[in-house]
Amino acid sequence: MAKIHLSNVVVLDNPSQFRHPFQFEVTFECNEELKEDLEWKVIYVGSAESEEHDQTLDTIYVGPIPEGRHMFVFQANCPDVTRIPEADALGVTVVLLTCSYRNQEFVRVGYFINNEYSDPDLRENPPATPQYDKITRNILASAPRVTRFKIDWDNSSSEQNGENQAKLDGVPEMSDSNSMADGHVSSLCQMNGGAVGDMICDSEDNVQNDNSQSNLNAMDLM
């Protein structure tokens, strides 16, 4: 049985300037006291072409965790722009919020991001070298993609059901093809057999001016 239930994630300060830190207000419930820390990470996908451009923006350890309801704000610095390919500076990408226990990841929450210039003239004629100080970051907070994993909470030697299989929560818009089980934006780009470019185009339309909260509906992380 799962010992942690992720209740809600709220994206704060959204939209914001590209160089502003990411902020997530995380609420979760603990059904049984955890003696070891939870490891939370924020990961920025720098390019859909290769995982080598993924950046772990920050890692924090929360614990020990007593039984009950808990809330904290996770703030992570913006990505290192020198590690982002210039061709991928603008447009849609992904940010991931993950949590692990005893080095076992049990939940991953992913959001699409749209990066664009706030100045209409720069949007029409973007400079060859990205000007990050003039780019606005808009997170599609209303449509998180959530993947959950079965883990061994008690650190026993036996495996659960023979494998550590990824499972999705009950959010209606999600399906197996929308999960982020491999930690990269390309895993989201198989909708209806479409290509990465088609997926990004569809997502870019939906990302515009989204500043709503994301409610994960008290997922049961089995």
pLDDT of the residue at 210 = 53
For residue range 8-27, what is the model confidence (pLDDT) as tens digits?
Answer: 999 999 999 999 999 999 99
Distances (CA, A) of 153 to 28, 104, 143, 216: 16, 9, 28, 22
pLDDT > 90: what percent of the chain?
A: 65
For residue range 156-182, what is the model confidence (pLDDT) as tens digits?
Answer: 644 444 344 444 443 333 333 344 444
pLDDT of the residue at 50 = 84
54 closest CA partner among 41, 69, 67, 66: 41
Q: Which fold, 4-207?
A: Immunoglobulin-like (2.60.40)
- Cα 27 to its chain centre, rounded Å, is 15
In this predicted model, which residue has the larger pLDDT, 79 or 161? 79
Model's pTM, two decimal places?
0.76
137 closest CA partner among 13, 51, 24: 13
For residue range 62-77, what is the model confidence (pLDDT) as tens digits?
Answer: 988 999 999 999 999 9
Distances (CA, A) of 194 to 140, 183, 190: 20, 19, 6
pLDDT of the residue at 62 = 92
- The domain segmentation of the chain, as residue ranges, is 4-207
For residue range 30-65, what is the model confidence (pLDDT) as tens digits?
Answer: 999 998 999 999 999 999 888 999 999 999 999 889
